[in-house]
Amino acid sequence: MIEVRGLKKSIRNGTRTVEILRGIDLVIPRGQFAAIMGASGSGKSTLLGLLAGLDSPTEGEVMLDGIAISRLEEDKLAEVRGRRIGFVFQSYQLIPTLTALENVMLPYELNARGDARKKAEPLLAAVGLQDRLHHYPVQLSGGEQQRVALARAFVLEPPIVLADEPTGNLDSVNGQHVLELLGVRQRESGTTLVLVTHDPSLAERYAARTVRIVDGRVAGGPVTVAPVAAGGRA
């Protein structure tokens, strides 16, 4: 489902070139829950942004379900992101003028046809927010906002969901609840789920595989995440 070949990313900082990713090779097959771990500054969030098509690599290629996304024109890339990728941000990224229900409905209304409400309401119920449908983000706790963001990521039933430190702004109880919900949605939908986290206990408890990024490289060399049953551990 996800294949990364020779991925490099560097940026200019004045007269210096800063290498963030130094050649990543990685394969994550369909239906797996993989965690990407690394110290602050290791490049793990940069890698996730490249997988989502939110940034372009300096060198190398990202393949999503057989589609080379790194060199796509913006309109085609936007179509791939809209239909094939759900993203869960650490900072929630909810639209403050929309209710919880409207936030979850929005990706469906922009990218699909049909009754968005019928898709969104069951997802919000599944994450325990059936009584908060018409509340605005400011009226929700951090844990509730992240659960809205989780429901939004799955509303189009994308084959890939990417989550960038989704528990980073939550206390341990809410963080664990969000990870449990992510795992349930991943198993039920067969989604390929990639989670960036700095917490080894979360990675070991919930993910089928852990990929460690050290100084812009995969620790131990190229990693293939072996196929196992959706949501299972090999």
What's domain 31-53+72-210's superfamily in CATH?
Answer: P-loop containing nucleotide triphosphate hydrolases (3.40.50.300)
The mean per-residue pLDDT over the stretch 31-59 comes to 92
Weakest mean pLDDT among 4-13, 91-100, 169-178, 204-213: 169-178
The mean per-residue pLDDT over the stretch 182-210 comes to 90
Q: Of 143, 155, 147, which Cα lies nearest the Cα of 181? A: 147
Domain spans of the chain, in order of start: 31-53+72-210
pLDDT of residue 221: 53
pLDDT of residue 132: 96
pLDDT of residue 119: 94
pLDDT confidence of 198, banded at 50, 70, 90?
Answer: confident
Average pLDDT, the chain: 89
Helix ranges, the chain (H): 44-51, 74-84, 100-111, 116-126, 142-154, 172-189, 200-206
pLDDT of residue 218: 92
